Amino acid sequence: MKWIDVIKIANHGNPKPNRRVEKTNEEWKKILTDEQYRITRLKGTERAHSSEMCTLFEPGVYVCICCKTPLFDSTTKFNSGTGWPSFSEPIKENAVAYFKDTSHGMYRVETTCNTCDAHLGHVFQDGPMPSGLRFCINAVSLEKEK
């Protein structure tokens, strides 16, 4: 996947997920911490460098904190120096959804879990090759499986 693919998907629609998980706000509040809820359901952002997940590079899979869908493999994780965990590609083409985000006077592409719509972060075009992508993800949105 390249930046042009991300833009095409954001403009024309996301691939169908393997499954859907839908809950009411009250159901999400029962299973998530206040911070997890704020970030994943209300599109919040954690403080930069607030998680040790940025500097951990052990093998494993990163799953959505809300629905446990696999999102990223540790082999695509890299140290971006931005203060948020960064990945060069999702684990599967249909794991992550992409949406144009013009909030805060910027043009960005928001990333969400394609299974449950949890806000993950944003994707940028300044990552390592071969994809050139940097998925800048809130650590609170993820859980690492061993």
Interatomic CA distance for residues 36 and 31, integer angstroms: 9
Cα distance between residue 144 and residue 20, in whole Å? 21
Phi and psi torsions of 9, nearest 5°: -65, -45
Catalytic residue list contains 136: yes
Catalytic, out of 54, 64, 67, 136? 136
* Structure tokens given for 57: 């590079």
Please give the positions annotated as active site.
Answer: 136
